[in-house]
Amino acid sequence: MAHRKIKSSARESYGNFAPAFVSYSENVLFGDVWRREQLSLRDRSMITVAALVAGGMTEQLSYHLRLAEKNGLRPEEMVEAITHLAFYTGWPRAASALSVAKSVLDHNNS
């Protein structure tokens, strides 16, 4: 199965300021971890979005919601997952995540 390369935003964000972090992001995280065949890219995206919502890490959420869509998750599936997570991770975290998701995934209002 041919894998497309996942573009990390680390180089644009950190460039020469944190070259080791960029290298680990590009080569280890997106080069090795995301390429393991035991889970599909779609599943990895769902897990990553859930982890970011659970941790309240909305700064990284926009990037991963767009990536999840590229990896085959439909916007309504991601909204449903975040809604489901509200009961397990807390209402404020889910509400914050939904605000980010609305701005990233609401293609009908763009």
Per-residue pLDDT tens digits for 91-107:
999 999 999 999 999 98
Asked if pLDDT for residue 59 goes beyond 80, the answer is: yes
For 68, the token pair is 């999840």
> Which of 2-11, 24-33, 87-96, 100-109 is the least confident region?
2-11
Environment class of residue 52 by beta-carbon count within 10 Å: exposed (0-12), middle (13-18) or buried (19+)?
buried
Asked if pLDDT for residue 63 goes beyond 90, the answer is: yes
